[in-house]
Amino acid sequence: MYVDKEIQLRPDLPSGLQRDFQELQEYYEADDWFMFDTLFEAVEASVKSYYLAGKISREDLNLIFKKYGIL
């Protein structure tokens, strides 16, 4: 599990995703790997859902996956 701080996501991503990413970051910085991993699974599914609904682009999807080590 990691977060690549070099990858910047666009600031106008859907607010639900932004909240999820903020919460993930808080767990990451606190070294709370249990909560990070628990939330991470839900966030991964949410990101895919936003993509399939056309609310984020393929580029957004790829950047998010790279940032959070999904790929």
pLDDT in the model for residue 69: 86
Residue 20 within a domain: yes
Residue 1 within a domain: no
Share of the chain above pLDDT 90, in %: 87
Residue 63 within a domain: yes
pTM of the model: 0.86
pLDDT in the model for residue 19: 96
Domain count, the chain: 1
Residue 5 within a domain: no
Residue 56 within a domain: yes
pLDDT in the model for residue 2: 80
Residue 8 within a domain: no
Residue 10 within a domain: no
- By the 8 A CB rule, do 25 and 32 touch? no
Q: Which domain holds residue 28?
A: 15-67
Angle at 24 between CA 29 and CA 12, to 5 degrees: 120
Which residues of the chain are modeled with pLDDT < 50?
Answer: none
pLDDT in the model for residue 70: 81
